[in-house]
């Protein structure tokens, strides 16, 4: 990305940034990280960048060394559930979001849950929280995707089926084709 735009800000997120923020912020080329839920923090970071401001004070954000010190802002509280997946929330015009080895014209991804309901001793799942989005919220997102011309949505949850009844209700309630 930096080759395409020397002024681009590279922001990392995901479980590795949440579990190992001090390591993640030191990765070559990273300007900032987001730990925890990233939707709101990322939007605030984009707005700050567009206004020429740094990321100081944005909860859930950490940034590269300033005066030799890594900047760690206050943690952001977890959201109960997300609304639209971040890529579509920020996308304008709509990018072509293709999973590997996929040929569909307009495909995107969606996440319906976060965390894990189990507490395995070998796992580093963030705070052992498990949150599932409301089925109506997911269906609203699918309708929004369809209105944008997206023909396929791939669910990329780390764990999609720990509650088989929830999956069956989602399947029964899916929008007609």
Q: Convert the pLDDT of each residue in 34-51 to its tens digit.
A: 988 887 888 899 899 889
Cα–Cα distance measured from residue 109 to residue 160, given in angstroms and rounded to the nearest whole number: 13
For residue 32, which of 67, 8, 61 has the smallest C-alpha distance? 61
pLDDT at 59: 92
Is residue 84 scored above 50 in pLDDT? no
Strand 32-34 with 11-12, pairing: parallel
Banded pLDDT at 64 (limits 50, 70, 90): confident
pLDDT band of residue 58 (cuts 50, 70, 90) is very high
86-173 maps to CATH 3.30.70: no
How much is the pTM?
0.65
**Residue % of the chain over a pLDDT of 90:** 5
Q: Would you place residue 94 in the very low, low, confident or very high pLDDT band (cuts 50, 70, 90)? A: very low
Q: What is the pLDDT of residues 134-169, one digit of tens each?
A: 888 888 888 888 888 888 888 888 788 888 888 888
60: left (phi over 0), alpha (psi -120 to 50) or beta: left
Residue partners of 154: CB distance under 8 A and separation at least 6: 99, 102, 107, 108, 109, 110
Q: Is the dihedral of CA 18, 125, 78, 170 positive or negative?
A: positive
- From residue 168, give the alpha-carbon distance in Å to each of 162, 165, 171: 12, 5, 5
Task: Provide the residue ranges of all domains of the chain, joining segments of one domain with +.
Answer: 11-72, 86-173
Query: DSSP of 98-126, one letter per residue?
Result: --TT---SSEEEE--EEE-S---TT---G
């Amino acid at each position: 990305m930096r080759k395409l735009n020397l002024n681009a800000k590279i922001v990392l997120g995901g479980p590795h940034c949440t579990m190992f923020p001090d390591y993640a912020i030191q990765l070559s080329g990273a300007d900032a990280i987001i730990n925890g839920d990233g939707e709101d923090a990322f939007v605030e970071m984009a707005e700050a960048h567009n206004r020429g401001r740094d990321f100081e004070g944005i909860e859930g954000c950490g940034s590269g060394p300033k005066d030799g010190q890594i900047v760690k802002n206050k943690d952001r509280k977890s959201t109960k559930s997300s609304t639209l997946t971040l890529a579509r929330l920020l996308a304008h015009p709509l990018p072509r979001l293709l999973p590997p080895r996929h040929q569909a014209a307009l495909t995107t991804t969606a996440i319906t849950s976060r965390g894990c309901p189990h507490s395995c001793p070998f796992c580093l799942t963030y705070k052992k929280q498990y949150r599932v989005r409301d089925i109506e919220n997911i269906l609203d997102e699918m309708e929004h995707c369809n209105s944008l011309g997206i023909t396929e949505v791939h669910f990329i949850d780390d764990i999609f089926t720990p509650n088989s009844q929830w999956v069956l209700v989602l399947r029964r309630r899916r929008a007609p084709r």
